[in-house]
Amino acid sequence: MFKGLAGLGSLLKQAQLISGRIQGLTEELRKRRAVGSAGGGLVEIEVNGLMEVLSCRIDQSLVDQRDRELLEDLVTTAFNQAVGKSRELHAEAMREMTGGLEIPGLEDALSKVLGEGPAGKADKEAENEEEGQRPG
């Protein structure tokens, strides 16, 4: 009976260690930056490794054109590119945390814990934008 309790204690200790690592990973990702751009740099979106938008820069010459559809397309493309790069930062941080060890399902599980959307969705949308397709 006490063997089971010892095993439970060990499991709880491991869970605490993993929780601490996830918190550290979250803070590291919050510090990392990725920039997506479109229209030859006329639109730039900066995000952190948690895919939070930090800034959006739109060149005045683009605003002066008063072409809302073009502006919307360029912002979407820049955002999707930034999110794709942010996912790369996330994957890199995961490799660092696990020592390069591939653990099936870990990245998806951590994405849920960190509050991110389904893995790959933003990347697919970015690919569609680059090919001239509307997301959806």
Between 121-130 and 68-98, two packed helices, what is the crossing angle to 10 degrees?
A: 140
What are 47-91's pLDDT values in tens digits? 998 889 999 999 999 999 999 999 999 999 999 999 999 998 888
Q: How many residues does the chain have?
A: 136
- Nearest CA among 80, 77, 89, 92 for reference residue 42: 77
Bigger pLDDT: 5 vs 1: 5
pLDDT at residue 20 greater than cutoff 70: yes
At 136, is the pLDDT very low, low, confident or very high (cuts 50, 70, 90)?
A: very low
What are 22-48's pLDDT values in tens digits? 788 888 889 999 999 999 999 999 999
At 133, is the pLDDT very low, low, confident or very high (cuts 50, 70, 90)?
A: very low
pLDDT of residue 8: 75
pLDDT of residue 7: 72
- Helical (H) or strand (E) element with 61: helix 60-64
